[in-house]
Amino acid sequence: MKLKKGDTLPDAKVFIFDESPKETSIKQIVGEEKVIIFGLPGAFTPTCSTKHLPGFIGATDQLKAKDIKKVICISVNDPFVMDAWGKIHKVENKILMVGDSNAVFTKNIGAELDLNKKGLGIRSSRYTILVEKGSIVKISEEEVAGKCESTAAENFIKEI
C-alpha cells in the first residue's frame, strides 16, 4: 500500500446504497470527522464475513468511546452487494457500507490485489485506517488478505 501515516486521504468516487445506488466521494463521506475505514477483499467472502465485518459491528461502543464518529466498510463490490451484505449482518446505522465498484479508491491508495487466480478479479487488500480531519493517523494492512489480525477491530482499537 502506498498510503502511509501523515498522508492526506485521496479522493475517489464510490457508491452507497440509499434506496438506490448513489455516487458520492470518499472525502464527502469522511469529511473532517474522526473515522475508521476498513477495506477488504470482498463481501460474502469467508474471513470478511466471519471476522472483519462482525468485529467492527461488535466494537461499536468501544469506537464511540474513542470518539470515532463513523465506521466505513469499503470493498470492490457494487452497492447492491454491499447493501445486501450489510443487511445480512445487521449493520444498521453502525457501519456505512461502501462499494468501490471500479476500484478507483482502492487503486488510489495502492491497495489493489489481483485475485484473478481465485476467480475474484481485482480486489482490495485487507486494511484498517484511522482518518482524522482528512489525514491518515494510523494504518494497518495484512500481508495475506485471508488473515485478519492487525486489521481486526479488537486489535486495531487497542492501538488508537
| Strand, helix or coil for residue 157 | helix
Of the residues 26, 48, 73, 152, which is catalytic? 48
Which are the contacts of 7, defined by CB distance < 8 A and separation ≥ 6?
135, 136
Residue 36 near residue 122 (C-beta atoms within 8 A): no
Number of C-beta neighbours around residue 143 at 10 A: 9
Catalytic residue status for 73? no
Number of C-beta neighbours around residue 12 at 10 A: 18
Residue 130 near residue 5 (C-beta atoms within 8 A): no
Which residues are marked as active site?
A: 48
